[in-house]
Amino acid sequence: MSPVDILPQQALTNLLHSALQDRIIGVLIGSALGDTIGLYTEFLFSAQAKSAYPSGIFTLHPTPTPFKLDRHRAPFSAGHWTDDTDHALLLLLTFLHNSTSSRLVVPTQTDFAERLRIWVSQGFKPLDTMPLGLGRLMGTALTSKGFDIDPEKVARECWEGTGRKAAPNGSLMRTHPLGLMTLWEEEAKCFEIAADISRVTHVDPRCVIACVVGSGLVRAVVRGEVNTEQDVEGVIERAKKWYEDVGKQAGDPEVDWKEFESHVSGEGGLEGLKLDDGHAIGYVYKTLGAGVVLLRMAVQRNHGVLDRVRVFEELITELVMHGGDADTNACFSGALLGGYLGFSALPDHWKNGMVHGKWLVGKAESLCQVLNVKKGEYNGQEDADTAPLGGKAVVSQQEMEGKWMVFQQETMKKMDEAKKAEEAKNAESNSKPSWSAPWKKPKQH
């Protein structure tokens, strides 16, 4: 066979790999961007979000949009992601550390439990950032005896302790890397691993089915299997069937599929999800519903290249302006949209302003090599970032307490400076004399 005969096939392979790289990187960067932008309105009511950011426009580069500075946002700086992305990256780094292009090794429950334990005591080691934002249910599990040995057992005990009522979104926020790790596996394998990793900390069936659906959708959008709303619905229906046939555990309560459908059907759009409902903002179905609704909207709006380059920013902005658990909602939604639209469609003024964006792109490219869609060899054993401690020394409890003290002092200083600036601004505004133009006649009442 001549080179001319094989060129079309090689060109097709190169084109396919290029598209897959764009989507894989799009998942990881899209999710981190959603998390980063979502922090602006996290825990605000929709009305508060509109008051705090009246333009409804967020910028990270070259000049970041200032935060509405309060106790929740003060510990952060614009352009940084939160614990949502940290936990997803713990899964990614574990996968990169143990896998090669010829042998893919998905993290086990104990692998992930070890990484979570390190994170809660040491922070995100590769980037030396603090462990901010740990949820109550997850925090209880991580600090319980035996978590490192049998995390699912401990997680179930913690859930039982809530009266089997707690179904927060802490496992859904980290699920998107699993859809990438199982890109070449059968869909059922993706579902199985998603359920397994959810149960490391979140065993409620609602959390488990949300992760099964979420991971399955990520896998499908990257593989190019989602082109219509019917394709979205197909993944959801297969995930439901898998859960009922295979994934349900003995003793688990039945899933209320009507409630599930009320969140993922798309009827009522984002408004219908009531994302800023103060009693349930962290409910896993709200986050799942937000992602599915936005993916449906992206499918409707994506009519060409020009549409793709604006759809991500428009939809993520629309989502976070609804407030609620905005960073987690946008973290999950960003993964789906990033995988569907691709990295090239993500807004430059967001990508270029994410503080650790270049580092994350590098890890995403390494993942592409491991998945055999990018040329080059990658050995995670030689990449210190992927080791459990990220190539860093262990920080003692005393040293960590010192770091927290400095961190808290810096946060309080930031709050004080913001308060003084606001007071000065108000004083200047109040000191200006009120006047009316002399050439205007006074209104008659």
User: Which residues sit in the known binding site?
Assistant: 82-84, 325, 327-328
Do residues 87 and 119 lie in contact, with contact meaning Cβ atoms separated by under 8 Å? Answer: yes
- DSSP 8-state assignment for residue 355: T
Phi/psi for 168 (5° steps) reads -80, 175
- Tokens describing residue 166: 């707690």
403 vs 426: CA distance, rounded Å = 35
Position 130: which residue type? M
| Count of residues in the chain | 445
SS3 state at 113: helix
- Report d(CA 65, CA 73) in Å as an integer: 13
DSSP string, 362-407: HHHHHHHHHTTSSSS---GGG-GGGSTTTT-PPPPHHHHHHHHHHH
> Any residues with CB less than 8 A from the CB of 366 and at least 6 apart, and which?
96, 378, 380, 383
Task: Count Cβ atoms below 10 Å from residue 274 Cβ, excluding itself.
Answer: 16
Angle between helices 205-222 and 326-341 (to 10 degrees): 30
Name the binding residues for Mg(2+): 82-84, 325, 327-328
